[in-house]
Amino acid sequence: MTRELIIQGLAEHQAGFLARSPEALTATHAPNGTFESPAHGLVTGRPAILEVYQYWYKAFPDFSLHWGSAVIEAPRAAVFWKFEGTTTGPFFGEVRPGTPIRMSGAAEYTFGDEGILSVRHIFDFSAVLVSAGVLKIKPA
């Protein structure tokens, strides 16, 4: 896997986000690829990965994901990102529609001949749930 192929793979993946297409995003993953995040745990295979993307687009139909420059060391790449979106309904519990959510995180990708073999997202999921009103913090 060359640096150029990884850059191309990342561009195709980012194009899926810009197109707002869970199907296009899923197509960038290898058939038996893995997707890991604090929100969904570890899922394997395109059907399960598609469900993850569909969940986020249903909860946040207006969301945007802004990527920083990729750090590439073949066959891996890392990207820092910022997420912004507005809830339209349930999001890991009952959330008032119209609740704005913002978070920063990072993703580590491993690429192979069939596409993204694995992706692991890292972000403060507890802080997201607090900002969404799903998780309450008790005063000290």
Note the pLDDT of residue 131: 77
- The alpha helices in 28-84, defined as continuous H runs, are 46-59
Q: Are 96 and 111 in contact (CB under 8 A)?
A: no
DSSP state of 93: S
Residue ranges per domain, the chain?
Answer: 3-132
DSSP reduced 3-state for 9: helix
pLDDT tens string 20-59: 999 999 999 999 999 999 989 999 999 999 999 999 899 8
Which parts of the chain register pLDDT below 50?
A: none
CATH topology of domain 3-132: Nuclear Transport Factor 2; Chain: A, (3.10.450)
76: which strand partners?
A: 73, 110
DSSP H/E element including 123:
strand 115-123
